[in-house]
Amino acid sequence: MKIGLIYSRSLVSGSALRASYIAKYLSKLGHDVEFIAPLKRMPFQLDFPLSLLVYTLKTISKHYDVIYVIKPFPNACIPALLKKYQNSNTKIILDVDDLDYAYRNGLVSYISKFLQKPFPRYFDAITVHNDNLRKFLNEELSIPIEKIFNLAQGVDLEVFNEKNVDKNLRKKLDLEDKHMIVYTGHLDVSTDLEPIFDAFEIVLERVEGCRLLIVGGGPRKRYFEKKVEKKGLKNNIIFTGYLDIALLPSYITLSDVCIVYYENRLANFYRSSMKLREYLAMKKHVVCNDVGELKQFEEFTYQTTSDIEDFADAIIDLLISGGDKREFRGYEYVKQRYSWAKIIEEFEKNVLVPLIGDENK
């Protein structure tokens, strides 16, 4: 199949990675996939109207069997709808991977919700990665349940693999004598770092020689750096900034403990953690709290409540005791259930082939 994939936001984000993995593994199955490159983030959200024009011009003159849109924003949905209007045989699929408006408040949240709400009903199929998103689309937007399919959040085992680790990185960074706590992510409105900083303060009081490594960049990086400075933690918390994804396995391997923390807020019940899967794919100790989808990984993580002291205590216990090797069961779990290769094979079988097949009958 000829597949055009359009991602509605800027290039550097967790959702952009999800889009790139979908494109990569559809290509591996032999499909001709064109991932139309997202624009860079621009001041005043100017990338949104500009990308509407760019995506339209890049798709309107080409043939596609399928247009796959990631996130229901008008700049990506309108080009897909125009393509379907131009050629009724073109199928259009939408991936909804969170409630984007729930990360914001007030007028910005209202506008975000208003912009996204009209489009899902016009797509031939919709993919989601958790049951809460499926329920929302069905009950709040009246999308028929038979049009909503599962496309789990995955991990690229070709990337997150021990073979890709620079074993000398700890020495290169002069961290050989430090206890390393690692957090990876795109630093934007979805990032709950303040509770992690509070927990880290408690850890520092009880365990000497700790460093918290924040791996990744984003629009709120400077905001979080200022928070760290105000807390007097500048010498103990390291921000790497943006890194090539190929480097992430090496930075995750630096860790004695990897962490995930979701605040108890609406948006976090509609997320599926990519970083959690990546940590377990690298067989790392993971401390996380029990909000939203994280609770499903209780067997494979050192899970806590959302209480900051409880979260800090779990980190301290791991740094001291070394844990009970449950992360190896977690590795087998994500390998069997969350490999992008297997996820996309199922997607092809259960969504793409029936969708195109219906047209050919």
Three-state DSSP class for residue 216 = strand
What does the DSSP 8-state code read for residue 209? S
Residue carrying structure tokens 């975000």: 112
275-294 pLDDT, tens per residue? 999 999 999 999 999 999 99
Q: Tell me: the pLDDT tens digits for 147-167?
A: 999 999 999 999 999 999 999
CA nearest 253: which of 144, 303, 180, 307? 180
Q: 77-92: per-residue pLDDT in tens? A: 999 999 999 999 999 9
And the tokens for 71?
């996130």
Q: Alpha helix locations (H) across 65-193?
A: 74-86, 106-116, 131-140, 169-172
Specify the amino acid at residue 251. Answer: Y
Task: Please write the tens of the pLDDT for every residue from 116-133.
Answer: 999 999 999 999 999 999
Q: 3-state DSSP helix/strand/coil percent for the chain, to nearest 5?
A: 50, 15, 35
Among 159, 212, 158, 150, smallest CA distance to 181 is for 212
Distance separating alpha carbons of residues 26 and 20, to the nearest angstrom: 10
Domains of the chain as residue ranges with CATH? 2-154+339-360 (3.40.50.2000), 162-337 (3.40.50.2000)
Q: How far is the C-alpha of 87 from the C-alpha of 85, rounded, in Å?
A: 6
